[in-house]
Structure 1
Amino acid sequence: MNDLLNVSASPHVRSKDSTSIIMRDVALALVPASIAGIVNFGLKALLIIIVTIATCVLTEYIYQKCMHKKVTTSDFSALVTGLLLALNLPSTVPLWIPIIGGVFAILVVKQLYGGLGQNFMNPALAARCFLLISFTGRMTTFTYDGVSGATPLALLKSGEETASVTTMFLGNIAGTIGETSVLALLLGAAYLLLRKVISLRIPFTYIGSFMLFILIFGGEGFDTTFLLTHLFGGGLILGAFFMATDYVSSPITPMGQIIFGILLGVFTGIFRLFGGSAEGVSYAIIFCNLLVPLIEKVTLPTPFGKERARHE
């Protein structure tokens, strides 16, 4: 009988995917958006990407060495954090801003809470929100083709004529380095889906609930151009597929992921339509990251064979 049974502690079913493989896939999926950003905004965008990634990796290495912890820079998580942060920055920022942002993302948001798997919010988005609050002027100054101008969402919010939907889909507009080309982002998202790194549960419920919110409260009815401008403008696609799906800061239960996506859509709609800024993706994701423990507590399934607690 002992030859037939192998008694061991759980988990009994293990995935072949490691952290480094998953992070490598995410980095590869962001390559099309990075290339599009460099083509649109020039070599300054490439320099910002390099500096931000180097800052994140170096910060993690120095901290773990100083704290006599195992160095985990080889798992690519710091690289992905740096790349995501860089893609959320305008190409006009001075290089000291991505350096500050990279240190904040890795040191404050990730390492001080225990490292990968312990952070309660997405480090790249937390750093972006920190930079937006601290350096609002520099973080909201955009140029395209050498000309300073507002983003399509800012123009839409002010009632001015915005770029065509086709132009926004291709990414020939002002914005942050990695959010402008929807085509490039969708190519990367398709790669993650094919590799089964992410599922469509969070992105679809996020985008679907957001579009429904805009349809109901946007004041334009079923105006296709208005709806697509909100869909293609800003960081919605980048946030939905690459940051809201972060393993650490998103729910693990299927129902929890659906609730998470719906809340993301609602809060993004509130911030965009009724807030002072034209964008709201970063703040919506950060805020909903804080709700994840409550969402998981409510949606955690009852273990098989265990009776639910009775309420008197």
Structure 2
Amino acid sequence: MNLITEASPHIHGRATTSKIMGCVLVSLLPTLIAATVLFGLNVPLLVLTYALVAIAAEHLCCKLMKRPSTAGDLSCVVTAVLLAFSLPATCPLWVGALGTVFAIVCAKMLFGGIGNNFANPAVAGRIFIMVALPSALAFYPQVVFSTTDALTGATPLAAAASGSASYSVMDLLLGVHAGSLGETCVLTLFVGYLFLLALRIVDAWATVPFIAAVGAIMALAGQDVVFHLLSGGLALGAFYMATDYSTTPMTPRGKIIFGLGCGIITALVRLFTSAPEGVAFSILFMNLFVPLIDRYTRPALSGGAQHVLV
């Protein structure tokens, strides 16, 4: 009998990074179709361009780092699609491409690639564009397909901040209003999220506290809870960005803390700052605390006491 010693993990499942990311892309297809109907045929072109830029950027980084290319695992494509979904259809193509390069190169590959980055790359790319090129996000187009004449270039949250918001629940669910590609049709985002839940690719440990915290604070503040839950990037952030493997805590208890933090910060930004939206900032801020959350929420070793290294 030969004794073979190997590094963990010793039990391997059938799931691979490329399969998982492929399922995430499939779950995003309904929202891509909805965005195309709402904002026009240029939407698939934007998403495809950003995906190709992400693949090229990650492949080039791997070559410069003299390591095998990881562009084929599709994680960079997921980043590109999520970033595209956080931008308006009128965002210049080069701006989105630049944000994609920043997301892949600066927020992901400089930290060692997938599994080593501390911040969600799509969120980092979005905030980079917000800070460096805010004019690209200053205008949100009127939807191409609509059932009402009351639509303007202002997103629901921006309209609410100015006191001119008047949207029905159905308008918010179907995305019949101005906004980013992936923050409009909440219904398709929810369907995609349920698909990932059914496959056990994601869980609800961070998502539910995220949404619940926003709802609770808005209720205490006397705001329209349903309006805030269905507006802005909350659905996209809670369903797809707060469930990222690399940049969220590992334990259920840690994910609950992460989700609560994201929800509280999002609600406070919406209530007390001039910015109508706070999802991206909340996720990036809580990403910074993930190592600390993991340290203090990790389970004790079986048969011994848990010791926290200082």
TM-score band, normalised by the shorter chain? over 0.9
Aligned to 1:204: 208
Q: Is the counterpart of residue 194 in structure 1 residue 198 in structure 2?
A: yes
Question: Structure 2: how far apart are the matches of 1:171 and 1:309?
Answer: 49
Q: Secondary structure at the match of 2:118?
A: coil
Aligned to 1:265: 263
What does 1:23-42 correspond to in 2, within 5 Å? Answer: 23-42=21-40
Question: Structure 2: how far apart are the matches of 1:145 and 1:309?
Answer: 55
Q: Secondary structure at the match of 1:201?
A: coil
Equivalent pair of 1:61/1:73 in contact (CA under 8 Å): yes
Q: Secondary structure at the match of 2:67?
A: coil
The alpha carbon displacement at 1:9 in A equals 4.2
Q: 1:308 and 1:29, CA in 2 relative to 1: closer, same or farther beyond 3 A?
A: closer
The alpha carbon displacement at 1:306 in A equals 1.8
Aligned to 2:90: 92
- Deviation digits for residues 196-231 of structure 1, max 9, x if unmatched? 001111111111111111111x234xxxxx111101
Q: Which amino acid aligns with 1:188?
A: G
Q: Which amino acid aligns with 2:114?
A: L
Q: 1:201 and 1:169, CA in 2 relative to 1: closer, same or farther beyond 3 A?
A: same
Aligned to 2:170: 166
- For residue 117 of structure 1, the aligned residue among 115, 121, 128 is 115
- For residue 222 of structure 2, the aligned residue among 212, 216, 219 is 219
Aligned to 1:63: 61
The alpha carbon displacement at 1:88 in A equals 0.7
The alpha carbon displacement at 1:148 in A equals 5.0
Q: 1:7 and 1:64, CA in 2 relative to 1: closer, same or farther beyond 3 A?
A: closer
- Deviation digits for residues 83-122 of structure 1, max 9, x if unmatched? 1111111001111101101110111111111111111010
Aligned to 2:236: 238
Equivalent pair of 2:299/2:306 in contact (CA under 8 Å): no
Aligned to 2:138: 140
Gapped regions of structure 1 (runs ≥ 5): 221-225
Q: 1:160 and 1:114, CA in 2 relative to 1: closer, same or farther beyond 3 A?
A: same
- Deviation digits for residues 232-264 of structure 1, max 9, x if unmatched? 100101110101100000000111011111111
TM-score under structure 2 normalisation?
0.93
Question: Structure 2: how far apart are the matches of 1:190 and 1:59?
Answer: 31
- Structure 1 runs of 4+ with >4 Å offset: 5-9
Q: Which amino acid aligns with 2:191?
A: L
Overall identity of the aligned pairs, in %:
40
Equivalent pair of 1:51/1:98 in contact (CA under 8 Å): no
Aligned to 1:156: 160
- For residue 186 of structure 2, the aligned residue among 177, 182, 185 is 182
